[in-house]
């Protein structure tokens, strides 16, 4: 248990070493690890958001209204579609509700960030935050209007729903959260056994 806490860091070990150096001088003050984890969360979120935004701009400019591009034969193609609903095109009449849910997820993640001392959780929440921001941007700024915008989807595997990089970030973040929860790692860095 102590080894796991040493590796992942806990709130108790997150601060600087307060003991003085052997020559009597004070040890240099280190920034608390919690701040670095918050920074990691926002860097991951920004990268996920920018990749999603850039890919959607490129898809709208180069692919929308054109024939799909076959990437791997019939297994994978790029095909620009506008999705006003949720995954698999469900809930097209509830675009405003999906917009509110995405906004709520963003607020919850930002609030949770203050208690964050685990790098894996920072990465997972950063992926969720970046993905939610990516799709929320579409919902707010794309046609047919504010809070009713259709999300740009373009990754089309055979026999599966068409999705985008924001969706991928959300799914990867969610899978990582499930794994971390099963391993007993909490966002504050503590490890527990059930």
Q: Which of 17, 167, 186, 194 is catalytic?
A: 167
Give the span between the Cα atoms of 72 and 193, in whole angstroms. Answer: 44
23 as an active site residue: the answer is no
Yes or no: say if 57 and 38 are a contact pair by the CB < 8 Å rule.
Answer: no
Q: How far apart are CA 122 and CA 176, in angstroms?
A: 10
Apex CA 143: angle with CA 137 and CA 146, to 5°? Answer: 60
Which residue carries 């020559």 as its tokens? Answer: 23
Non-local (6+) Cβ contacts of 28 within 8 A are 16
Annotated catalytic, 153? yes
Residue 90 CA to residue 55 CA, distance in Å, equals: 23
80 neighbors 64 (Cβ within 8 angstroms): yes
Q: Find all residues with CB under 8 Å of 74, minimum gap 6, and list them.
A: 158
Tokens 């180069």, residue located:
62
The active-site residue, picked from 79, 153, 186, 188, is: 153
- Give CA–CA dist 149/130, Å, rounded: 18
Q: Which residues are catalytic?
A: 153, 167
């Amino acid at each position: 248990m102590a080894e796991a806490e040493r590796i992942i860091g806990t709130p108790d070990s997150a601060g600087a070493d307060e003991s003085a150096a052997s020559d009597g001088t004070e040890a240099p003050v280190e920034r608390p690890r919690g701040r670095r984890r918050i920074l990691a969360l926002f860097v991951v979120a920004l990268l996920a958001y920018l990749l999603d935004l850039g890919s959607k701009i490129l898809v709208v400019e180069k692919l929308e209204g054109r024939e799909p591009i076959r990437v791997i034969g019939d297994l994978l193609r790029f095909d620009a579609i506008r999705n006003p609903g949720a995954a698999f095109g469900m809930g097209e009449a509830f675009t405003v509700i999906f917009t509110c849910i995405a906004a709520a997820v963003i607020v919850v993640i930002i609030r949770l960030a203050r208690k964050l001392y685990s790098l894996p959780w920072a990465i997972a929440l950063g992926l969720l935050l970046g993905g939610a921001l990516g799709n929320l941007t579409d919902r707010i700024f794309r046609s047919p209007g504010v809070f009713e915008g259709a999300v740009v989807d373009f990754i089309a595997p055979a026999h599966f729903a068409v999705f985008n990089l924001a969706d991928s970030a959300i799914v990867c973040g969610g899978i990582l959260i499930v794994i971390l929860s099963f391993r007993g790692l909490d966002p504050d860095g503590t490890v527990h056994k059930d």
